[in-house]
Structure 1
Amino acid sequence: MIEAVSWIGLIMLLIVTGLETDLELIISRAKSATYTALGGIIIPFAMGVALGYVLPGQFLANDGQRLVFSLFIGTALSISAIPVIAKVLIDMGMMHRDVGQITIASGMLNDTIGWVMLALVASLARTGSEQALGAAGVTLVWLVIILGVSFTLGPRLTEWLFRWVDATLGSDDLTKTTVVMILALGVGTITHYLGLEAVLGAFIVGVLVGQVRRFDSSARHTFEVISLGIFAPIFFATAGLRVDLTTWADPVVMLAGITVLAVAIAGKFIGSFIGARAAGLSTWEGIAMGSGLNARGALELIVATVGLSIGVLTTTMYTIIVTVAIVTSLIAPPLLRLSLSRIELSADEVDRLEREELERQSFLGGVIRVLLPTQCSVDSQLAAQLLGHIARNREIEITSMYVDTDGTEPSGTPLVRRIKRVVDGFGVSDTVQSDGGANTQQVYEQSEDCLDLIDAQIDIPNKQLRNIVRTAETTVSESVLDEVSDSYDLVALGADGQLEYSPDEPLFGMAIDNLVQATPCPILIAVSNMSQTTKTLPELSIQRILLPTIGTEYSRRAAEISFEVATAYDATVEITHIVNRSQLGDLYMSGTDRSISEAIDLAESIVDREAEIGQTMGVNVRTNVSVGTKPERTLIERATINETDLIVLGSEVRPGSRRAFFGHRVEYIVKNAPCPVLVICSKQSYQ
């Protein structure tokens, strides 16, 4: 039983390794990574095979398997450990440096080739050396088929599966973890049946799932906690139980072990160094590659475990390989630290790192799933158009949700409705999903027409779109909130022409007010300021965007939205700050009396800071700082005079007595703007 559980831990470790394999990174560093990886595989593999032929016969599990034994030793010495390398790079802050990315990409490619080699050698071991040529041919054919299907149809099928799971079973982290394990065990079973190792199937699943944005950092963290906190220790403990340290007392074993260790270190270092230099990297970069890729870590234990289980390795040889894994993992980090400290930053690398740091800190960088509840008002169409431009380059997924309000009650208990939703989901290809009730032909046609219109306004690839229909059991707000709880990062709403002009009433009507107060994620509200009798919103022509800012986090989020929209339309963004002459203390630092000149200096630093982000994105940015007693009126006048096409406001939802309150200035601008307005609401203070 312990052995079975340890194999589950082994499979989970391979999934984690696959999750860390970034195909885009490998492609982006293709030349350097390929040269380094090939050098780090070919030379240690050749040295390992040669070593396998000269080792005494006592290390062979079967006298008739010298060829397979030698191939296995070569494969074992070719493996590298990404987790060890990544840990050192993270600790030194070098993960996003050029040399760090090339090292990781090389390690990923190295391991990918290594697992393929392991699958081939394991297949040969099972069939025997006598049929080696024929077995190798059959294995290669199946390997090509498996890899071909995995990396052509695999990404689409995996993406579809997670979309279906989100839509029918929910998107919590444990559900996603279960799906990954089912996939890994299923594909691993197929690869094992075909004569390839089950670990290859688990690794392939890890790579494919790692490319799915719905399997986000939270789900990945949950999977790693379960894997590394429960199952991996059982695997390591079981691997340790097989080690027989008393064998080192034999002089022959001692000499053989030292020789294997020396060949492993020298072969990997020389091969990686030569490959890096051939790719045009510097001497110290080559030393860094040779040092980092020398770490074997847990992956060497996996190879050793497979070798022992298929009868290629004896306990003695298994002990030697485990020792190699431990020693190389200990010496690689200090050598890598030493070499990395000698590598200087280039100007291009400095620029790239600054851009990546901005992206990591950005609001939109963390937005993966957006919910757009709609009944196809012109305001909702405005939100759809602008969301489409934002999502197109960022591969954000948008779920358009049509809520039926005909009052038809869904039949059955909540459990029955949930089961029906799962069953119905199998027959739906991400177009319309009915959640019970509202089954009349008229409602169906209305929802179809509406969602088709919204899809046309969003205008992004189908893989980024999901359409759902829900029946409002009580209120529209509650139906939307029920869906929002399904791990969305942003909710986009159309004001739907429901602006209220009474200070005691919600600005956007009661339904939106309830959503704003209860939704846990940021909200984008679109106000078209157009006649609600308009059926189809024409394509917007946005040339000028006005962005008021006061330098807060929600102002920064509004700035990001502005710059993304401006990029799509090639528009100019005017970043403006109005210094309120009568409320300087309230605006900047409560209880402090600032002079006008000091306030202007501070305002200029605020708009310049926002402008830097836009300029980094290639947006045409203008800045403006002025002084007035009514900033909201000054902004409306400026928007009118400059013929502004869009105003983007950031706001923090503030506690109010009976409604969500965005601030007097935001409400004034929304009600009086001569053009469409977007309001980006944060929720930090309203809890």
Structure 2
Amino acid sequence: MAVIEPLGHHELLLVIVQLTLLLFVARAVGEAFSRIGQPTVVGELLAGVLLGPSVFGLVAPGVYGSLFAVSESQFHLLEVISWLGLIMLLIVTGLETDVDLIVSKGRTAAILSLGGIIVPFTTGFALGWVLPVTFIASPDQRLVFSLFIGTAMSISAIPVIAKVLIELDVIRRDIGQLILAAGMIDDTIGWILLAIVAGLARTGVVDIGSVATTLFSVLVFLGLSFTIGRRFVAALVRWVGTVLGSDVALISTVMVLALAAGAVTQYVGLEAILGAFVVGVLVGQVKRFSYELRHTLEVITLGVFAPLFFAIAGLRMNVAALFDTTVFAAGLVVFGVACFGKFAGIMGASRLAGLSRWEGITIGGGMNARGAMEIIVATVGLGAGILTTDMYSIIVAVAIATSLIAPAIMRWSIPKIEMSEGERERIEREEFLRKSFVNNLGRILLPTRGGADSRYAARLLEPLVRDREIDLEVMYVNDASDDSDGTHGGLFRRLRSSRFAPGRAERESERSAAVSPAEADRFFEPIERRLRERDQPSRTFVRTARGTVADTILEELNAGYDLAVLGESAVGDRPGESLFSTTVDRIIQETTCPKMVVSTPFAPDSSLDRADERIDRILLPTVGTVSNRHAAEVAFTIAAAENALVEIVHVVDEPHFDDRFATRPDLSEHVRIGEQLVDREAAFGRRLGATVLTRVSLSETPEAEIVDLADRTDADLIVLGSNMRPISRRAFLGHRVEYVVRNAPCPVAVLSSL
């Protein structure tokens, strides 16, 4: 087999220079349009026109000829980059698509889509019958030509619409999701119509078998994607996040999935963008693919690949071809019919769907954008011998013109759409969940040695992770110096959920183990007993310490966890001494992820029974810091799941008697601020479904007041927020927090999220 010659030096240099110019001009013109209040997509589309034969080709024909008037094979190199940008843009669009919202509005989206297909197709078909024969590549195939014009008029440009919605910051609004839903239905029908027309152009007859195959392929692909595919994508993303534990690996995984799905849909004649969009939707439902990762992918896409895609689409446009009087007049007619058909269809359908006039205008303006989708349709028509070059230029011009008009219409009409109370609550809830500490937990590590504190920590984690997509991993570290636990080297892991990593348990169980599975069960069983009702992936594993126990736990935490939960009773009795053991003290100091330490006053012989006791009352001291707010969210989440009462307390630090002046200081302002603070936390707690009480008190020793209050009210748990910081070679939580941990009559959970 002959070795394929690599890309030549000149060809490679040319494509690099082309990409440099396209990206630079696209971003520059896009930013210029953004400065004057227009979406950047408008400038990015025009950038291609400026670099094409219409402007650059006239101003500097020699330079243009050497750069862009190249062979088809050379231009195809740019097309590959363009398609990659299109696929990435559809992934981002899918990530922002709310399937539940679309399903809830499915009837409305279907009505809008039918209106956006039937009327434009009918008017486009009629136009095809009356256009001069000079625009038909094969004059004897006017039927095919008319069907093709109807299809071209029906299509919408989801990438352009999505980009505009993102830039206008309305993609999460009901109107944005409705446009995306209707547009996707529109385009799916459009691709089916295109397959029919292309088959008719090739054979001269309607290929019913091809049409049926295409329709069947759509239904099968979507059906498999949202059943088996949904579970597979969720399991794969979690597995990559757990085993590889890097953002790079997760983004690579999404790209591989999108390309693979795109290859499947392209193979069955549905276009690669459908597969990429569906993968984006499926990944968007997996919490392990966090908001930060989505933002990273969005920045890369909108900053590099989307501008290249839009610029290359504009590069195909030759305005000079429209200067001919006949071509120009025909272009105006086609443009008018395209806009009328789309707006008339959408406005009529919006009334049937019960939408307002401004909602109809917004949806019509958005779906009127044809963009690169129509350019692709025009390319198919040109290649199939349906269109002349003049008609191709007209359709491309209409695609760009409608894409330029759509953002202006949407920017004008969207502010006139009033946001309903339900929509406002949904958006506020989504914004809260995006910033929520508990909701953004994807992976928790609970190291255990089987003691009372770690058992009670598991008791607190069970309501915290209940009904949430959180991977809880319980690890027993086998210290080689502990003869009771064995002294063999190596690594032993035992996975409890085959859904988490199928087949891995069998492979790892063959390795030499420091403890047997039966011995491991002795440590895990009390904790697993608290977690058996969860229908979420979890695992338990034993790891032999390499170095110290702290070294081993820290090494595991470096694999990427969102929270480390440590069960540990206070060992230091006096201020200045380390509050916890050397191992826990070091983990607190050195790990960079949030950590929560759970300490109990239980006697060892009663620890198992006490760990199963109900939680009826939680005491939540607060001073208004970020860690306090995150600790409050943990307390409220546990309380809502356990039907417990949360008492929020703020203790005003009253000066000691020896520090006072002759008269008692006026602390009314401090009390007022404290009342505002606890009221704010109470509103937050009620929003999370917890029952709350508030209390503001004065004390010379707030820490003693908190301990006394816990004793008086018979609190079952105290939840504190604290910034843990190293002082004097030990973890320092603050004197008052440490006092509460040492003296509290009930378990204490201390959360440091910073």
Give the TM-score taking structure 1 as reference length.
0.85
- Structure 1 window deviating more from structure 2 (618-627 vs 124-133): it is 124-133
How far apart in 1 are the matches of 2:602 and 2:186? 59
Which residue of 239, 245, 251 maps to 2:325? 251
Native 8 Å contact 2:347 2:364 kept in 1: yes
Matched, 1:600 2:600: no
Change (3 A) 1:201 1:563: same
Sort the Cα spacing of 1:438 and 1:535 in 2 relative to 1 into closer, same or farther, 3 A. Answer: farther
Cα–Cα, structure 1 residues 648 and 77, in superposed 2: closer, same or farther, change >3 Å?
A: farther
Mapped pair 1:219 → 2:293: yes
Match of 2:4 in 1: none
What is the Cα deviation at residue 622 of structure 1?
Answer: 0.8
Distance 2:383 2:295 in 1: 30
Instruction: Select which of 576, 601, 609 maps to 2:649.
Output: 576
Aligned length: 661
Within 5 Å, which residues of 2 pair with 1:494-533? 494-495=567-568, 497=569, 499-533=571-605
Cα offset, 1:212, TM superposition: 2.2
61, 84, 94: which one pairs with 1:18? 94
Counterpart contact for 2:627–2:752, Cα < 8 Å:
yes
- Correspondent of 1:287 among 343, 354, 361: 361
Q: Distance in 1 between matches of 2:689 and 2:381?
A: 54
**Higher deviation after alignment, 294-303 or 249-258:** 294-303
1:236 Cα shift? 3.8
Matched, 1:679 2:750: yes
Q: Is the 8 A contact 1:268 1:294 kept in 2?
A: yes
Structure 2 residue 346 is the aligned partner of structure 1 residue 272: yes
Structure 2 SS opposite 1:603:
helix
39, 50, 72: which one aligns with 2:115: 39
Cα distance in 2 for partners of 1:333, 1:348 equals 26
Determine the C-alpha separation between the residues in 2 that align with 1:396 and 1:427: 12
**What is the match of residue 53 of structure 2?**
none
Find 1:174's aligned residue among 225, 229, 248.
248
Bigger Cα displacement from structure 2, 651-660 vs 475-484: 475-484
For 1:108, which of 172, 181, 184 is the aligned residue? 181
Residue 548 (1) aligns with residue 621 (2) = yes
CA separation in 1, counterparts of 2:438 and 2:352? 39
Give the direction of change, closer, same or farther, for the CA distance of 1:38–1:528 in structure 2 (3 Å limit). farther
Moved more, 350-359 or 183-192: 350-359
1:651 to partner: Cα distance: 0.7
Contact 1:433 1:468 in 2 (8 A): no
Gaps spanning 5+ residues in structure 1: where? 412-416, 587-592
Aligned to 1:206: 280
- 1:678 Cα deviation from its structure 2 partner: 1.3
Query: What residue is the counterpart of 1:590 in the other structure?
Result: none
State the match for 2:717 in structure 1: 646
> Is 1:30 aligned to 2:103, yes or no?
no
Of 335, 351, 357, which aligns to 1:261? 335
Aligned match for 1:480, one of 530, 541, 553: 553
Cα separation, 2, equivalents of 1:95 and 1:11: 18
Deviation at 1:246, TM superposition (A): 2.4
CA shift in 2, pair 1:94/1:467, >3 Å: same
CA 1:235–1:353 in 2, change beyond 3 Å: closer, same or farther?
closer
Native 8 Å contact 1:44 1:268 kept in 2 = yes
Choose 606-615 or 135-144, whichever is displaced more: 135-144
**Matched residue, 1:589:** none
Is the CA contact (8 Å cut-off) linking 1:379 and 1:526 kept in structure 2?
yes
Amino acid at match of 1:610: E
Structure 1 range deviating more: 656-665 or 177-186? 177-186
Distance 2:227 2:250 in 1: 22
Match of 1:133 in 2: 208
What's the CA shift string for 1:34-73, capped at 9, x where partnerless? 4334433333344334434444454455667666655554
Other-structure match for 1:8: 84
Residue range with higher mean Cα deviation, 177-186 or 296-305: 296-305
Name the aligned partner's letter for residue 620 of structure 1.
Answer: T
2:24 is aligned to none
2:268 corresponds to? 194
Corresponding position of 2:443: 369
1:24 aligned partner, one-letter code: D
CA contact (8 A) 1:433 1:469 kept: no
- Which amino acid in the other structure matches residue 580 of structure 1? D
Q: CA deviation digits over 1:257-304, x for unaligned, max 9? A: 222322222222222223333222222333333233333445544555
SS of match in other structure, 1:660 = strand
RMSD: 3.5
Letter in 2 for 1:631: P
Deviations 1:86-121 (A, max 9, x none): 66656666555xxx3233233234224414541563
* Aligned residue in 2 for 1:145: 220
Contact 1:34/1:106 (8 A) holds in 2: no
In the other structure, the counterpart of 1:414 is: none
Q: Among 616, 619, 636, which residue is 2:707 paired with?
A: 636
Instruction: Report SS of the residue matched to 1:679.
Output: strand
- SS of the residue aligned with 1:48? helix
Q: Give the conservation status (yes or no) of the 8 Å contact 1:122–1:310.
A: no
Report the secondary structure of 1:458's partner residue.
coil
Percent identical across equivalent pairs?
46
1:428–1:375 Cα change, 3 Å: farther
CA contact (8 A) 1:33 1:102 kept: no
2:416 aligns with 342
Segment of structure 1 superposing worse, 401-410 or 18-27: 401-410
Q: Is the 8 A contact 2:458 2:527 kept in 1?
A: yes
Alignment correspondent of 2:257: 183
Deviations 1:19-45 (Å, cap 9, x if unpaired)?
333212212433444433443333334
Match of 1:661 in 2: 732
How far, CA to CA, are the matches of 1:213 and 1:599 in structure 2?
Answer: 41
Counterpart pick for 1:323 among 364, 389, 397: 397
Task: Write the deviation string for residues 133-187 of structure 1: whole angstroms up to 9, x where unpaired.
Answer: 111112222222222211110011111212222233x232322232223223322
Structure 1: which amino acid aligns with 2:749?
Answer: L
What's the CA shift for 1:564? 0.8
Q: 1:196 to 1:329 in 2, by over 3 A?
A: closer
Partner of 2:633: 560
Gap change, CA 1:347 and 1:61, over 3 Å in 2: same
Aligned residue number for residue 692 of structure 2: 621
CA contact (8 A) 2:170 2:176 kept: no
Q: State the distance in 1 between where 2:335 and 2:171 align.
A: 28
Deviates more, 1:460-469 or 1:522-531: 460-469
Could you give the per-residue CA deviations for residues 521-576 of structure 1, whole angstroms, max 9, x where no partner exists?
22122223323454577544122111101111111111111111111112111111
| TM-fit CA distance, 1:640 | 1.3
Which stretch of structure 1 is more off in the superposition, 518-527 or 432-441? Answer: 432-441
Contact 1:491–1:524, Cα closer than 8 Å, also in 2: yes
CA distance in 1: counterparts of 2:85 and 2:227, whole angstroms? 28
How far apart, CA to CA, are the structure 2 residues paired with 1:398 and 1:313?
59
Task: Identify unmatched segments of 5+ residues in structure 2.
Answer: 1-76, 481-486
The question of 1:381 aligning with 2:463 is answered: no
